[in-house]
């Protein structure tokens, strides 16, 4: 029997992450000790009150039905969080919708805004789920380069007007993945003005919103005047609150957009498990304390890694936010060659930059997902690769 598969599946080829995992397992089978800094999966446990609430709720035999959507209490917790942390006002009834993790939200959302063949503006480098969402919707990407000389912000003024007039949606991400840059209010105002001029919906991916360092203040896209007229913000409880496996996130912003996303969601799933929603409420209600612990931990990790890499001759820029280091590799290597040499000679797994787009060439992404002492060891080992003349 010859089974025919859809042409759509050509867009979902095995990724570099699968290749890195297979190579890592091969090296471990050969006896090599591996330090994996490839995946951005938080290694910190959820705070005690979050785990306690989840455990208590899960023990209740009446908590196992369909929730169908986010609870009123969860929506209110999101609105309260935005009010306290960002001084942004959200209507919990009309401007917030729950999704089953930001990955799910990012993959399905383009279908709400784009038909097959429509243009969506995405960053290059950018998070891999954006491409997946475009493939699901049948939309075509127009890449906005993130270059070091521009502070890793897209140059909106350089976008061709023909493209701007065709675009249905723009996706931006600060602090970013893989580029851990930060956007300021002036950039968000530029985005809002651009979107209004060309009638483009905007989605700001704020998955790393609690990861800001060096005493900087947090900034939400929705706290900027005019943002809710043209856009939304998606945020996950995965990174900031270490609830990655729980799969709970939300999209907030323009009420008409939220209503349409809800229309799609009502045909896709039956809601997030009630105990997870209850745990999410605890996380949001204690965000300031939890966030401070997360920031302190990751800032220390960042500092240790950057300092130790400098000692072995690899000088990389210090990120101001996010949970990654976007490291420019030594001259003479391609990103892929350097990443696999790091596994061979140092037992350290990093992601080559082109996994996130063509403009990622010349970089690797290093996730700060190990304790400081482990990162120090990884940096020392990487000296064996830096010293090689390719």
Q: Could you read off the pLDDT of 246-287 as tens digits, one per residue?
A: 999 999 999 999 999 999 999 999 999 999 999 999 999 999
65-285: CATH topology: 3.40.640
Separation of alpha carbons 205 and 225, rounded Å: 18
Separation of alpha carbons 227 and 298, rounded Å: 29
Q: Both tokens of residue 31? A: 């006896």
- pLDDT digits 0-9 by tens, 232-245: 999 999 999 999 99
Domain boundaries of the chain, sorted by first residue: 7-45+289-383, 65-285
Separation of alpha carbons 192 and 225, rounded Å: 9
Strands 363-367 and 351-352: antiparallel
Residue 141: HSE in the Cβ half-sphere, 13 Å Cα cutoff = 20
Whole-model pTM: value is 0.96
Which option is the CATH number for 7-45+289-383: 3.20.20.220, 3.30.420.40, 3.30.200.20, 3.90.1150.10? 3.90.1150.10
Residue recorded with tokens 């090599």: 32
- Is the separation of the CB atoms in 361 and 314 below 8 Å? no
Q: Both tokens of residue 68? A: 């169908």
With 0-12 CB in 10 A as exposed, 13-18 as middle and 19+ as buried, what is 243?
buried
Interior angle at CA 385, CA 383 and CA 390, nearest 5: 140
Residues whose CB falls within 8 Å of the CB of residue 165, separated by 6 or more in sequence, listed in order: 198
Q: How many residues does the chain have?
A: 390
Separation of alpha carbons 188 and 132, rounded Å: 25
Q: What is the 3-state secondary structure (H, E, C) of the chain?
A: CCCCCCHHHHHHCCCHHHHHHHHHHHHHHCCCCCEECCCCCCCCCCCHHHHHHHHHHHCCHHHCCCCCCCCHHHHHHHHHHHHHHHCCCCCCCCCEEEECCHHHHHHHCHHHHCCCCCEEEEEECCCHHHHHHHHHHCCEEEEEECCHHHCCCCCHHHCCHHHHHHEEEEEEECCCCCCCCCCCHHHHHHHHHHHHHHCCEEEEECCCCCCECCCCCCCCHHHCCCHHHHEEEEEECCCCCCCHHHCCEEEEECHHHHHHHHHHHCCCCCCCCHHHHHHHHHHHHCHHHHHHHHHHHHHHHHHHHHHHHHHCCCCCCCCCECCEEEEECCCCCCHHHHHHHHHHHHCEECEEHHHHCHHHCCEEEEECCCCHHHHHHHHHHHHHHHCCCC
CA 131 to chain centre: 13
Please measure the distance between the N-terminal and C-terminal CA atoms of the chain and give it in whole angstroms.
Answer: 49
For every one of its 390 residues, what pLDDT tens digit does the chain have, with 9 covering 90 and above?
899 998 888 888 778 888 999 999 999 999 999 999 998 889 999 999 999 999 999 999 999 999 999 999 999 999 999 999 999 999 999 999 999 999 999 999 999 999 999 999 999 999 999 999 999 999 999 999 999 999 999 999 999 999 999 999 999 999 999 998 899 999 999 999 999 999 999 999 999 999 999 998 879 999 999 999 999 999 999 999 999 999 999 999 999 999 999 999 999 999 999 999 999 999 999 999 999 999 999 999 999 999 999 999 999 999 999 999 999 999 999 999 999 999 999 999 999 999 999 999 999 999 999 999 999 999 999 999 998 877
């Amino acid at each position: 029997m010859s089974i025919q598969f859809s042409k759509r599946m050509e867009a979902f080829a095995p990724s570099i992450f699968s290749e890195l995992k297979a190579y890592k397992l091969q090296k471990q089978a050969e006896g090599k000790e591996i330090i994996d800094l490839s995946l951005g999966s938080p290694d910190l446990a959820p705070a005690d009150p979050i785990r306690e609430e989840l455990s208590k709720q899960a023990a209740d035999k009446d908590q196992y039905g369909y929730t169908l959507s986010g609870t009123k209490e969860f929506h209110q917790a999101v609105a309260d969080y935005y009010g306290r942390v960002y001084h942004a006002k959200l209507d919990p009834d009309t401007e917030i919708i729950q999704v089953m993790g930001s990955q799910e939200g990012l993959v399905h959302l383009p279908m709400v805004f784009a038909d097959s063949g429509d243009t969506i503006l995405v960053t290059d480098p950018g998070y891999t789920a954006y491409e997946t969402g475009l493939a699901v919707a049948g939309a075509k990407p127009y890449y906005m380069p993130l270059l070091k000389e521009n502070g890793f912000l897209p140059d909106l003024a350089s976008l061709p007007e023909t493209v701007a007039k065709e675009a249905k949606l723009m996706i931006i991400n600060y602090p970013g993945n893989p580029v851990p840059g930060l956007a300021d209010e002036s950039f968000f105002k530029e985005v809002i003005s651009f979107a209004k001029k060309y009638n483009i919906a905007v989605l700001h991916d704020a998955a790393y919103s609690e990861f800001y360092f060096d005493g900087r203040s947090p900034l939400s896209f929705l706290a900027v005047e005019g943002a809710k007229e043209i856009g939304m913000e998606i945020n996950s409880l995965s990174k900031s609150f270490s609830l990655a496996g729980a799969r709970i996130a939300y999209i907030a912003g323009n009420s008409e957009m939220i209503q349409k996303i809800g229309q799609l969601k009502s045909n896709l799933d039956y809601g997030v498990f009630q105990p997870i929603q209850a745990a999410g409420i605890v996380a949001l209600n204690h965000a300031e304390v939890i966030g401070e612990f997360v920031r302190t931990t990751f800032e220390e990790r960042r500092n240790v890694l950057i300092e130790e890499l400098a000692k072995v001759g690899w000088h990389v820029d210090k990120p101001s936010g996010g949970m990654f280091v976007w490291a420019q590799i030594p001259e003479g290597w391609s990103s892929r060659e350097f990443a696999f040499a790091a596994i061979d000679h140092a037992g350290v797994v990093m992601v080559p930059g082109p996994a996130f787009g063509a403009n990622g060439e010349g970089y690797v992404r290093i996730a700060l997902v190990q304790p400081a002492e482990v990162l120090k060891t990884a940096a020392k080992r990487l000296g064996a690769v830096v010293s090689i003349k390719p």
